[in-house]
Structures are given as C-alpha cells and as structure tokens.
C-alpha cells in the first residue's frame, strides 16, 4: 500500500486516534497500540494545583512510533486558537496542530470563518495545521490555499457515530484536494472507516467509536483492519456500478 | 505580593522569577506543561529571567485526553 505523507512525514497507518473518553489511561494506551496508529490527538487543560498529577497522559503515549497532535478544543475564536496553539507547541514540543474551533456545544460544528482566519495565521507562525472543518468543498480549498497541511472534514457531528452523512460533499473534497483529506468525526463503526478509505480519503480520525466500545482494544484492532481493507480496495480500484445484472458465471447451454 | 495562578489567588515573594514560582508550586521539572503570563506564552528557557509583578495572571496548562 502507498504510504501516507503529511507535511513530508510518512505514516504507515492511515488511522489516527483521539484519546478522549477512554475510561483509563491504561485502556487508552492498549487501544492505541492495538490500532497501530502513529498520530494521536491530545487536548489541553489547566493543571490541577491541589491534587497533583502523578500519572500523566504523556507517559502512556511515550512510544517511538506515536506522534502527538495537540488540539485546540475549547477555544471559541481565531485569537484563542492561536493562543492555545502556542501553549500546545511549548508544552508538547511539536508544531503539529489539530485546529478546531467549535463554539456551539450542541452540535460542535466548526466555525469556518474563525478556522480559516486562525489557519492562515498559524501557517505563517510555522505550525503544521490540520483543521477540523465542515464537509464544505469551498472552505476546504480556501484552507489549502492558505497552506494547511491537510483538511479534516467531518463525516457527521463529533461523537454521533452516524458515519459519512456528508458523503456527497466528501467525494467532491477528495476529488479536488491537493493535500491529504482526513475524515474526522462521526465515524462510528469499522465499516464507516472502510467506506471513507474506499472513496479515497487519505486517513480517518476515530475516537468515540473505539473509546466507548465494550472492548476498546478489540474495536481498535477492528478499525485498524477496516482502514487497511478500505485503502487496499481503493488502490485495487473498485468495479463500476451497473444498473443491470452482469453474469459472473458463463451462461453456456449445458442443459442444451 | 499576590498573583493569580490558574485563576486562584496565591501569595508569593515580591519580585519572584517565574522559575522560583514554578519551584514553589512543584512544577519546576515537570514535562509537558506550558505557561502563559498575562496571556503571553513564556518559553521554559526564559523562566529564570522573567520577573513577576503584583496581580500577574499565570496560566499553566498540560496535555489531557481529547479527540
């Protein structure tokens, strides 16, 4: 299979994982290892001054093949996103960034205007920007134009597990993008991930579907296999869709 | 003097450096944290030379679970 390249970095795996919602760090770590993912997101929060924090998330993500993708979750506009990005770069020593600006808590849909504004500024400041964005082909092209390293359009709202409800728009985004397209949010089952890969997405980002599964480690492996299967099918090229039947057995007259 | 550490009021010595404050609150050798002083990120190599003033606002963040 072809390797995925984002900002000159090669990835064997086309499955990215979020670290949210896992019931323990141990389960999170085992799931990430089972997924074979090489890029995982982390959020930022204020340190707890009173309790102290001995077990940190970072000690569970300390594997050579795992790269961190800090996100800007919690910010409401471009200004706050740039501030969060600078904190993330300092704390995690990476200039990779999942830019996400979704001020409305009900549907968590990205604000495209603030996202574009922040993306432009962050690219100028040297960040590798992967913006979470609506499945809107026009805004995806605008993000590409300002120099983002990828676009991450949503399949359906975060955490809904509804799959690729934006399928028609995702296909247009993939068809006209010159940068990798990572389908993020809403992927609820391995078949959704396989479908994303079959339509030509470069990668998928999955969190809730794995983290809240009854068995996150097995679900992580299922997503790994589905992502590989979908990509293999894409590279092998799927057959065309026909309106009428086409026999797959020879219609010879052995009954005379 | 008083400063605000993640919005909590804290008493510290006058003219403390950021490095001294971080030692005082147990963050001196922590990995994976970042600090902003009055909403400006201060890189770790500048902690020793950064002197705090009355009512300064410090924000200390770290990584956490998120998608």
DSSP label at A235? Answer: H
Q: What is the mean pLDDT of residues A77-104?
A: 96
If one counts every other C-beta atom within 10 angstroms of the C-beta of residue B49, the result is 10
With contacts defined as CB-CB under 8 Å, which chain A residues touch B22? none
pLDDT of residue A231: 98
Catalytic residue among A3, A30, A45, A98: A98
Q: What is the mean pLDDT of residues B42-57?
A: 93
Q: What is the mean pLDDT of residues A100-117?
A: 94
The residue among A250 and A61 whose pLDDT is bigger is: A61
Q: In the structure encoding, which two tokens stand for residue B50, read together?
A: 């950064």
pLDDT at residue A54 is higher than 90? no
Which ipTM score applies to this complex?
Answer: 0.91
A44 vs A70, A75, B32, CA distance in Å? 7, 10, 10
pLDDT of residue A52: 61
pLDDT digits (tens, 9 = 90+) for A124-170: 999 999 999 999 999 999 999 999 999 999 999 998 999 999 999 99
* Mean pLDDT rounded to a whole number for chain A: 95
Chain A contact residues (CB < 8 Å to B): 18-22, 28, 41-47, 49, 52-53, 56-58, 68, 70-71, 73, 83, 86-92, 158, 205, 207-208
End-to-end CA distance of chain B: 39
Q: Homologous superfamily of B2-62 in CATH?
A: Beta-grasp domain (3.10.20.30)
> What is the SS3 assignment for A145?
helix
pLDDT of residue A143: 98
pLDDT at residue B46 is higher than 90? yes
Q: In chain B, what's the furthest Cα-to-Cα distance?
A: 41
Of B31, B32, B65, the CB nearest to A43: B65
With contacts defined as CB-CB under 8 Å, which chain B residues touch A83? 36, 39, 41
Answer whether 0.90 is exceeded by the pTM: yes
**A119 contacts: CB under 8 Å, gap ≥ 6:** A99, A129, A131, A143, A146, A147, A148
pLDDT of residue A99: 98
Judged by CB atoms closer than 8 Å, whether chains meet at A28 and B65 is answered as yes
pLDDT at residue A8 is higher than 80? yes
> What is the SS3 assignment for A91?
helix
Under the banding of pLDDT at 50, 70 and 90, the label for residue B40 is: very high
Under the banding of pLDDT at 50, 70 and 90, the label for residue A49 is: confident
* Sign of the torsion angle spanned by Cα atoms B18, B23, B25, B27: positive
The residues spanned by each domain of chain B are 2-62
pLDDT of residue A53: 61
Residue A240, judged by CB atoms within 10 A of its CB (0-12, 13-18, 19+), counts as exposed
- Nearest chain B CA: its distance from A168 CA (Å): 25
Residue A87, judged by CB atoms within 10 A of its CB (0-12, 13-18, 19+), counts as buried
Helix (H) or strand (E) holding A138: helix A137-145
- Nearest chain A CA: its distance from B33 CA (Å): 4
Computed over its alpha carbons, how large is the radius of gyration of chain B? 12
* Mean pLDDT rounded to a whole number for chain B: 91
pLDDT of residue B28: 75
pLDDT digits (tens, 9 = 90+) for B8-35: 999 989 999 999 998 888 887 778 899 9
pLDDT digits (tens, 9 = 90+) for A203-240: 999 999 999 999 999 999 999 999 999 999 999 999 99
pLDDT of residue A235: 97
pLDDT of residue A51: 63
pLDDT of residue A63: 95
């Amino acid at each position: 299979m072809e390797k995925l390249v984002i900002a000159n970095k090669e990835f064997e795996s086309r499955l990215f994982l979020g670290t949210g919602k896992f019931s323990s760090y141990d389960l999170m770590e085992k799931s990430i290892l089972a997924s074979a993912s090489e890029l995982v997101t982390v959020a930022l929060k204020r340190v707890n001054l009173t309790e102290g924090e001995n077990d940190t998330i970072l000690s569970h993500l300390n594997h050579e093949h795992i790269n961190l993708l800090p996100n800007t979750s919690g910010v409401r506009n471009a200004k706050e996103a740039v501030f969060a990005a600078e904190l993330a770069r300092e704390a995690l020593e990476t200039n990779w960034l999942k830019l996400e600006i979704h001020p409305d808590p009900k549907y968590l849909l990205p604000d495209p205007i603030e996202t574009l504004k922040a993306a432009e500024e962050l690219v100028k400041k040297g960040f590798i920007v992967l913006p979470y964005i609506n499945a809107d082909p026009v805004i995806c092209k605008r993000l590409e134009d300002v120099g983002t390293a990828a676009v991450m359009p949503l399949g359906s709202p975060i955490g809904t597990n509804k799959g690729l409800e934006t399928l028609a728009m995702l296909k247009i985004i993939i068809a006209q993008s010159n940068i990798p397209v990572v389908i993020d949010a809403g992927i609820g089952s391995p078949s959704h991930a396989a479908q994303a890969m079959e339509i030509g997405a470069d990668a998928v980002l999955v969190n809730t579907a794995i983290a809240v599964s009854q068995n996150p480690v097995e679900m992580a492996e299922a997503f790994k296999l589905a992502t590989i299967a979908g990509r293999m099918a894409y590279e092998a090229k799927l057959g065309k869709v026909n309106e009428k039947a086409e026999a797959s057995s020879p219609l010879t007259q052995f009954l005379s | 003097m008083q400063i605000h550490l993640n919005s909590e009021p804290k008493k510290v010595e006058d003219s403390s450096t950021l490095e001294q404050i971080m030692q005082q609150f147990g963050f001196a050798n922590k990995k994976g944290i970042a600090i902003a002083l009055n909403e400006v990120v201060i890189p770790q190599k500048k902690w020793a030379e950064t002197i705090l003033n009355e009512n300064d606002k410090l924000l200390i963040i770290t990584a956490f679970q998120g998608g």
